């Protein structure tokens, strides 16, 4: 197929467009801004599938009630180092933003702290959230569950979602030494959706159809199941995330959650779980030296790549010059904004 036409946009322009569309669809100013900022950051990170392409889905869900644009947010400190947030079936982003404002000082005071979020929704690029904790000097771990799209190895019934996890290690200079952000499946479901929109076949090994057979048809894949990364080990990662982001957070299990696409069902009410660690306390001040050694041992090998360096380079490019964004997606979001 011919390459899609693109238009040059800055991060600020992407954020403004997403903000206007979300507010026009029924999100409060604060909620729309929080989600729009994350959407723009996804493009800057080179993860465009989680940016403007998702905004029409967010708008549809605002209008049909799957996500509440004016949700009431509640955050409680349950124990000295434990925060629990109820997103009220609104967007995850405002709950994460507000939770982090309390989580950061708490982790620095206590040495380690956690934030559990329930009755939430898609949080976009998980690694963007853990990166923000690393930029404030904390080792961060993040988990988010999703509506079921993956069957156990040997089975055909969906039990858990693609269930990403992320780890961000601070470099002490406002960035991250290492940023791991990956789903428990071979590929994120949003990437399958991108292939379906373009009508392109999938690479082999990404998905199974409804009968559990390998498929390269993105529509069959969306009706079927995702393939766990690393077989049963990847499914084990998905279970770990499900235990933390859903069970431990008091959120809805992926098998019971309504999908993040389409108008069917009520609010997904899924969850997130974040752990923030003051690594100067736990390492006795030796963390940065050890992390630098680890990064050097990887980066000095020809062809090797340190997790997160691609996104860091993409952010630098986005800060210096406009990004190319699919024209069709821009026009679709602009219609919602106007």
Phi, psi of 227 (to 5 degrees): -90, 125
Q: Give me the percent of the chain exceeding a pLDDT of 70.
A: 99
Element containing residue 221 per DSSP (H, E): helix 218-223
Q: Of 15, 120, 191, 242, which is the active-site residue?
A: 191
Structural contact between residues 63 and 45, judged by C-beta atoms closer than 8 angstroms? no
Q: Of 43, 50, 93, 129, which is the active-site residue?
A: 50
- Residue 50 annotated in active site: yes
Q: How many CB atoms lie within 10 A of CB 248?
A: 15
Strand boundaries in the chain, DSSP class E: 6-9, 74-79, 82-86, 112-120, 139-144, 165-170, 176-182, 207-208, 214-215, 225-226, 270-277, 323-326
Strand 82-86, strand 112-120: pairing = parallel
- Residue 49 annotated in active site: yes
> In angstroms, what CA-CA distances link 89 with 70, 99, 163, 215, 308?
10, 16, 19, 34, 31
Q: What is the pTM of this model?
A: 0.94
Asked which of 57-71, 204-218, 226-240, 307-321 is least confident by mean pLDDT, the reply is 204-218
Q: Give the C-alpha separation, 42 to 127, whole Å.
A: 10
- Residue 39 annotated in active site: no
Percent helix, percent strand, percent coil in the chain, to nearest 5:
45, 20, 35
Q: How confident is the model at residue 223 (pLDDT cuts 50, 70, 90)?
A: confident
Tell me how many helices (H) and strands (E) the chain has. 12, 12
Q: Is the pLDDT of residue 328 over 90?
A: yes
Which token pair is 226? 């995702």
Asked which of 17-26, 68-77, 145-154, 274-283 is least confident by mean pLDDT, the reply is 145-154
């Amino acid at each position: 197929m011919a390459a899609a036409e693109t238009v040059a946009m800055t991060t600020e322009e992407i954020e403004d467009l997403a903000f206007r569309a979300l507010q026009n669809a029924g999100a409060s100013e604060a909620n729309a801004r929080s989600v729009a900022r994350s959407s723009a950051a996804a493009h800057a990170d080179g993860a465009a599938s989680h940016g403007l392409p998702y905004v029409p889905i967010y708008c549809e869900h605002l209008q049909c009630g799957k996500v509440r644009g004016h949700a009431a947010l509640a955050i409680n400190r349950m124990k000295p180092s434990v925060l629990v947030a109820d997103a009220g079936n609104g967007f995850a982003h405002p709950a994460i933003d507000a939770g982090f404002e309390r989580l950061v000082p708490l982790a620095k005071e206590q040495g380690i702290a956690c934030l559990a979020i329930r009755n939430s929704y898609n949080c976009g690029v998980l690694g963007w959230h853990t990166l923000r904790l690393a930029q404030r000097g904390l080792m961060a771990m993040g988990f988010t569950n999703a509506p079921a799209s993956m069957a156990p190895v040997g089975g055909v019934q969906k039990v858990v979602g693609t269930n990403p996890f992320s780890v961000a290690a601070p470099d002490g200079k406002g960035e991250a030494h290492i940023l791991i952000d990956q789903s428990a499946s071979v590929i994120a479901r949003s990437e399958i959706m991108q292939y379906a929109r373009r009508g392109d076949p999938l690479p082999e090994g990404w998905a199974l159809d409804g009968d559990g057979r390998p498929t390269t048809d993105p529509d069959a894949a969306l009706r079927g199941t995702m393939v766990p990364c690393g077989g049963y080990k990847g499914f084990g990662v998905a279970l770990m995330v499900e235990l933390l982001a859903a069970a431990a957070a008091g959120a809805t299990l992926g098998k019971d959650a309504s999908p993040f696409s389409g108008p069917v069902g009520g609010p997904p009410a899924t969850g997130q779980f974040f752990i923030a660690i003051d690594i100067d306390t736990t390492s006795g001040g030796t963390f940065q030296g050890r992390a630098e050694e680890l990064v050097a041992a990887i980066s000095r090998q020809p062809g090797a790549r340190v997790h997160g360096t691609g996104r860091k380079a993409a952010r630098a490019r986005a800060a210096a010059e406009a990004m190319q964004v699919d024209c069709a997606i821009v026009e679709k979001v602009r219609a919602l904004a106007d």
